[in-house]
Amino acid sequence: MPGGPLVLGPLLRYVDETTAAVWVETRDPGTVTVTRGSARASARTFGVHGHHYALVELGDLEPGTTEAYAVEVDGEAVWPEPGSSFPAPVIATLEPGRPLAMAFGSCRTSVSHDAKGNDAHGVDALRAWALRVGDQVPPADADDPDLAPDRLPDLLLFLGDQVYADETTDEMRAFIESRRDIEQAPWTELKDYEEYAHLYALAWSDPANRWLLSTVPSAMIFDDHDIRDDWNTSLVWRREMEATSWWHGRIVAGLASYWVHQHLGNLSPAERRTDELYAAVLAHEGDDELDLGAVLDAFAERVDQHPETYRWSYTRDFDTQARLVVVDSRAARELDPAHRAMLDPDEAAWLDSQLRGDVDHLLIGTSVPFLLARGLHHLEAFSEALTEGAWGEHGARFGEKMRKTVDLEHWGAFQNSFQQVARQAMEVAAGERGRAPSTVTFLSGDVHHSYVSEARPARSSRRSGRELTSTVLQAVCSPIRNPLSRNMRFATAVLSYGVAGPLGRVASWSTRVPDSPLHWHYAQGPWFDNNLAFVRVTGPSLRMWWVTGEVVDGGHERPLLAKVAAYELDEQGRPPERESVAAKVWTSTRSRVRRR
């Protein structure tokens, strides 16, 4: 763990054309100052359960400029670290009209980067990329420009499972055992805020990743493992959790620590000023540190029970090039079987209002994929129908058991919400909500395999006469570091191709699941490597690629960056012609499963 006055960070968070936010955790209460050229700003720390945090906001920056910055705590220089082999951290402001570049991914465990850690969890793709762009290692292919970018991305989007509160590593378990009896509930899972704070420190303290997060702006959203596997799968699941002795402490600590470590930095300066918690931080006067712990816990308890009282979702606009809408697809779920939905009515209305055209690309970030493999999608719809009583009481019990056992809790398992958002996306793509963008692209994680799917109106939708001007895509990057077992890879591949799709469709028909307004198919994938994805948009064109880390000659600490896959639309924003993509990928997937 880092020593000195700076415990964690700095993390570069919200950055636009003229402002930037830098987040830190400090050892003691104090004043944190950030200096970038002639710009200088300070913030007093606020306290949460013995920890001290600050978010420093720089303003009046010049658009399209890149300058190094430094951090001080009570006048002592703490960042960059003396003697660091990494380049000086920079803040690069957005420039109107410059092609937007983003990285995204999900699902990252925090274990060692030696042979033991890599053998168990694979190479950390985020760290491999950090070493490459930090000039610590050469690319695996020096001729590939995707492995040696001309500039850093404008944003790094984490789509869930930044931390694993339920599947803890050896190092995290050792910390837990130093505090309490792991034979008592919740055993080796996280119990309170102190344990969450330590888990975030494990996730963000590796020198390479720490440098990367200090120089590339990041945005985040939670998924289930940030709290617990299958979080808010169903009302039955939630009641089972609430009947335990430990769940209340877990959910309060999980949401409170998420607000501090992840959510606060997602917000623009204007949004932070109106945030009910951060407004209290800004309003605090005097030299003493504001203790936010009790207020934050009460807030977390309230928003868990009444999610409609707070919004975790957010939107970022990047000039007219792109709009990024990041959707809370976990905490905002409506679990009442009579009104079951991925999003409660307030959240659904908000998303409806955000899905608009008049940009070149509409990007929708949702931790759980909107378009799964068709076999999985139909299986989830079938499971939901069973649970709602399509085959009687015994079928309902079987459906609930299947839902929890196989993690059937993505958009396909919330059919009303899926149908609604699919229609809204089609309206955007048809130019019925402003000028049609070149693409409507869903960005997701969660499922521990990656792919690109292309969608078009289903036959029933085509009969309505609606023509889609936009290309509708689903792009998934998962995991950054937490690969599936060989058996699970094979099961996923089976559900992705072959007879699983048609059989799943028959099963969903048997329970009268409505036809989807969209039809989709794999354009690339699936693949199962630890990887990190990138997307760059230039006018109507869009390019995506996925990278991974490779250990060469036993160099576990210094893996090389290699490309896994790429996908590109042409200058008109249209997919290229392909021949039998599914058959070729199925063969590739089988061979990859055998090799692992």
| Residue 346 Cα distances to 18, 134, 231, 447, angstroms | 32, 43, 20, 27
> For residues 340-367, b (16+ Cβ closer than 10 Å) or e, as one string?
bbbbbeebbebbeebbbbebbbbbbbbb
Question: For position 421, what pLDDT does the model report?
Answer: 98
In angstroms, the CA 457 to CA 124 distance is: 38
In angstroms, the CA 545 to CA 568 distance is: 8
Question: For position 491, what pLDDT does the model report?
Answer: 74
In angstroms, the CA 576 to CA 585 distance is: 16
Q: Which fold has domain 97-153+313-595?
A: Purple Acid Phosphatase; chain A, domain 2 (3.60.21)
Secondary structure element (H or E) that encloses residue 209, with its range: helix 207-215
Per-residue pLDDT of the chain (596 residues; tens, 9 = 90+): 557 999 999 999 999 999 999 999 999 999 999 999 999 999 999 999 999 999 999 999 999 999 999 999 999 999 999 999 999 999 999 999 999 999 999 999 999 999 999 999 999 999 999 999 999 999 888 889 999 888 899 999 999 999 999 999 999 999 999 999 999 999 999 999 999 999 999 999 999 999 999 999 999 999 999 999 999 999 999 999 999 999 999 999 999 999 999 999 999 999 999 999 999 999 999 889 999 999 999 999 999 999 999 999 999 999 989 999 999 999 999 999 889 999 999 999 999 999 999 999 999 999 999 999 888 888 888 888 888 777 777 777 877 777 777 778 999 999 999 999 999 999 999 999 999 999 999 999 999 999 999 999 987 666 566 789 999 999 999 999 999 988 888 777 776 665 455 555 555 555 566 788 999 999 999 999 999 999 999 999 999 999 999 999 999 999 999 999 999 998 888 887 754 444 344 333 332 322 23
- Amino acid, res. 422: A
Neighbours of 143 (CB within 10 A): 7
Cα 250 to its chain centre, rounded Å, is 21
Residue with tokens 């292919």: 141
In angstroms, the CA 44 to CA 278 distance is: 12
Q: Where are the beta strands (DSSP E) in 143-196?
A: 155-159
Q: Where are the alpha helices (DSSP H) in 247-292?
A: 247-258, 269-274, 278-283
Question: For position 372, what pLDDT does the model report?
Answer: 94
Question: For position 508, what pLDDT does the model report?
Answer: 55
| Residue 3 Cα distances to 201, 205, 209, 257, angstroms | 12, 11, 17, 21
In angstroms, the CA 193 to CA 201 distance is: 12
